[in-house]
């Protein structure tokens, strides 16, 4: 059953659950977030499972302070300017990911950038300080439903699917954070939200680029800014008997010849947690083809297959 938590003892319990890799819905000033330890791949995979999200889009990591955020991402230039002006608050910054961040690659969907936020709500700040690490959290609602601004909203839609809800009262802002991508040459608005664009432009002393990247933007290349990660090698799906020279990414038992196995026991949560790290690792090995075993198309398998299908699409 989903525990309802509040007050000092609730906060202590929430931290204990999060450290144990459980999911806890947490209050912030924007909306309630569905939080998991961002360093624990299976915990992060469980977020997608609980939300029924059919896609591994990257998640925002929440931290207690700018100092803590700077251990996960490279915060310089315009990003530092904006962080110093608006954190804590309803602003998310996309910045280059630090190699030693310790984050699960599922949080960034395998990208070289990371979305960071330092929330202002005192209870969120207290929780992050006590947890002492990054919490990955999308909004705490089933995929496709509206974002929750009270603990009751969360309980109505996710009860039984998550360990607990920490009640911090109604969310003040009520809409998601504004997201600014600071990983490119100039800051770009990715999502309007709780922090007005005018405030950002005043701080930057310049208009903010609103342009969505066009289809003419160069295709993905390793290390380049891209909307989703795909290996440089050719990816072939639903392979049970891989060619001799192919790198074989297996799923489940019965593949002793595999180069890597997403989950020997056939566990989709473990497979999701391993997906991006294993694709990256195989991509650095000699060979030109990554052959992937069939993945069941249910539960988290939907999101795994979505990502693999895109990785296998001709580029
Ligand atoms: P949600 O977690 O549902 O609030 O959504 C998070 C938003 O942040 C999504 O629109 C993501 O596409 C965006 N986002 C998170 N990480 C990144 C990243 N590394 N690069 C670009 N966008 C990101
Ligand atoms: Mg959402």
Domain boundaries defined on the chain: 3-204, 234-312
Pocket test of ligand 1: the residue of 25, 30, 53, 115 to mutate, having most ligand atoms within 8 Å of its CB, is: 115
Q: Which bound ligand lies closest to the C-alpha atom of 57?
A: 1
Q: Which two tokens stand for residue 16?
A: 């204990």
Sorted by sequence, the CB contacts under 8 Å of residue 228 that are 6+ apart come out as: 109, 110, 111, 220, 307, 310
Indicate the helix (H) or strand (E) that contains 265.
Answer: none
Provide the whole-model pTM. Answer: 0.92
- 178-181: strand order across its sheet: 3-5, 164-166, 24-26, 33-37, 135-136, 60-62, 113-117, 91-96, 178-181, 188-191
State how far the Cα of 260 lies from the Cα of 278, in Å rounded to an integer: 7
Q: What is the pLDDT of residue 225?
A: 37
What are the pLDDT digits (tens) for 55-84? 999 999 999 999 999 999 999 999 999 999
> Structurally, what CATH architecture does the domain formed by 3-204 represent?
Alpha-Beta Complex (3.90)
At 212 the pLDDT is 65
Tell me how far the alpha carbon of residue 93 lies from the centroid of ligand 2, in angstroms.
Answer: 16
Q: Give the mutation target among 31, 55, 147, 179 for probing the ligand 1 site: most ligand atoms within 8 A of CB.
A: 179
Assess contact for 293 and 251: CB atoms under 8 A. Answer: yes
Q: Which residues of the chain have pLDDT under 70?
A: 212-227
Counting from 1 in the atom list of ligand 1, the atom nearest the Cα of 181 is: 21
Pair of tokens at residue 83: 């962080």
* Cα(142) to centroid(ligand 2), Å: 9
**The CATH number of the domain covering residues in 234-312:** 3.40.50.11030
Find the Cα–Cα–Cα–Cα dihedral 99, 102, 104, 109, rounded to 10°.
-30
Are 166 and 6 in contact by the 8 Å Cβ rule? The answer is: yes
Q: In whole angstroms, what is the distance from residue 133 CA to residue 155 CA? A: 25
Could you give the 3-state DSSP secondary structure of residue 142?
coil
Question: In angstroms, what is the span from residue 140 Cα to ligand 2's centroid?
Answer: 7
């Amino acid at each position: 059953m989903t525990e309802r938590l509040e007050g000092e003892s609730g906060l202590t319990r929430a931290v204990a659950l999060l450290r144990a890799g459980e999911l806890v819905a947490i209050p912030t000033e924007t909306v309630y977030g569905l939080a998991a330890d961002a360093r624990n791949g299976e915990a992060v995979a469980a977020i997608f499972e609980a939300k029924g999200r059919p896609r591994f889009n990257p998640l925002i990591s929440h931290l207690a302070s700018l100092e803590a955020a700077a251990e996960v991402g490279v915060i310089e230039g315009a990003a530092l300017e904006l962080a110093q002006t608006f954190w804590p608050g309803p602003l998310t910054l996309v910045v280059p990911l630090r190699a030693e961040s310790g984050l699960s690659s599922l949080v960034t969907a395998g990208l070289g950038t990371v979305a960071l936020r330092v929330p202002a709500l005192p209870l969120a700040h207290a929780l992050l300080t006590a947890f002492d690490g990054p919490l990955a959290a999308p909004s705490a609602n089933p995929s496709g439903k509206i974002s929750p601004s009270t603990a009751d909203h969360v309980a109505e839609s996710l009860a039984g699917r998550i360990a607990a809800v920490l009640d911090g009262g109604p969310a003040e802002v009520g809409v998601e954070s504004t997201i600014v991508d600071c990983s490119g040459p100039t800051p770009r608005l990715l999502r309007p939200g709780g922090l007005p664009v005018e405030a950002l432009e005043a701080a930057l002393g310049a208009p903010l680029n609103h342009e969505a990247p066009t289809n003419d933007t160069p295709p993905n290349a390793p290390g380049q800014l891209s909307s989703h990660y795909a290996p440089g090698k050719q990816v072939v799906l639903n392979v049970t008997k891989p060619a001799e020279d192919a790198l074989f990414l297996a799923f489940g038992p019965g593949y002793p010849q595999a180069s890597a196995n997403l989950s020997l026991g056939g566990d989709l949560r473990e497979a999701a947690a391993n997906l991006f790290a294993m694709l990256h690792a195989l991509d650095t090995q000699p060979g030109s083809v990554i052959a992937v075993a069939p993945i069941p198309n249910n539960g988290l398998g939907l999101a795994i297959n979505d990502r693999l299908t895109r990785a296998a699409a001709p580029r």
